[in-house]
Amino acid sequence: MDDVILHHYALSPYAEKVRRILGFKGIPWRSVEIPVVMPKPDLTALTGGYRKTPVLQIGADVYCDTDLIARVLERVRPTPTLFPPGAESLSYMIGPWQNELFMLAVYQVGTAAPVFPDGFVEDRAKIIEGFSLEKIVAEVGPQREQLRARLDLLDRLLATRSWLLGDAPSLGDFAICHPIFVLRAVEQTAGILEPFTHVRAWADRMDAIGHGTFEALTGPDAVEIARAATPADGLVVEPGEPNGLAAGDDVEVVHESFGKDPTRGTLVGATVDGVAVRREDARAGTVVVHFPREHYVVMRVGGSPAP
């Protein structure tokens, strides 16, 4: 197996989700620290435009979005599993609730401590509609109430079990944990969790998992690894594509609402839960970029998603 490479930065909550999954599974990995804000020339040489954090690389295959990355790491090392019986579908179904909890946590942290680096708000305003420091400040009070209500729900659930969806850790735990990581990482907001004893005990168990074994790698070296590698075989466009997509179509893939930086390439893989495009890059050579199906739009270049 080629090296597992994670492109991330230390304070990225979504990267923390993946770092802990790597630790949980005991997968050695290589760490590429990417800039917090654009430009990200080494990353986009691999992705073709996608700029969100984190991105997973295995040779010349590049995986975007933590939902897909979790599935890939489960395939790389099936045990211990992220999906105990009955947990897979529920883990993905709680995604929208997790994202709302995450945004509530970010608003509290962003107004309580100087954690946003220079240019962060301006950079994120380009990819999040309506995002501004003025909006964060104006909404932080009511959102503090919403955050407390959600933490109370989570606390009551965790009073009945050690892990979110049963007797063992699942992807659901890693998904919900990273918004808690945001609050705990900053001294000014850690006290928000004080009344929620079961959440704090669960978060301690998640912290104990750690990040596993890793070593540093530079961005240019990661790009060179892609250039020297060949994308994995076995991708197919399965029959039954709702909009008639076919292998060889020239397409763009973009998130439906967040980070509208499309990746353009030739469609080489499409299943009910994933899509993959092959692209050529002057630096990275031939790479295949993979996306989950949920929350992503696949558009024929010069056309629409439907025939």
Domain boundaries, the chain: 88-209
Is the domain spanning 88-209 CATH 1.20.1050.10? The answer is yes
φ, ψ dihedrals at 209, nearest 5°: -65, -40
pLDDT higher than threshold 70 for residue 28: yes
Q: What is the pLDDT of residues 167-187, one digit of tens each?
A: 999 999 999 999 999 999 999
Residue-wise pLDDT for 73-108, tens only, equals 999 999 999 999 999 999 999 988 999 999 899 889
Lowest mean pLDDT among 17-26, 139-148, 277-286: 139-148
Task: Indicate if the pLDDT at residue 277 is higher than 50.
Answer: yes
What pairing do the DSSP bridges indicate for beta strands 4-8 and 29-33?
Answer: parallel
Q: 196 or 185: which carries more pLDDT confidence?
A: 196
Dist CA 76 CA 4 (whole Å): 9
Q: Write down the pLDDT at residue 112.
A: 84
Q: Which residues on adjacent β-strands are paired with residue 276?
A: 269, 290
The answer, yes or no, to whether residue 120 has pLDDT greater than 80, is no
Q: For 43-55, how does the pLDDT look when each residue is reduced to its tens digit (9 = 90+)?
A: 999 999 999 999 9
Per-residue pLDDT tens digits for 229-261: 999 999 999 999 999 999 999 999 999 877 678
Max CA separation in the chain (angstroms) = 55
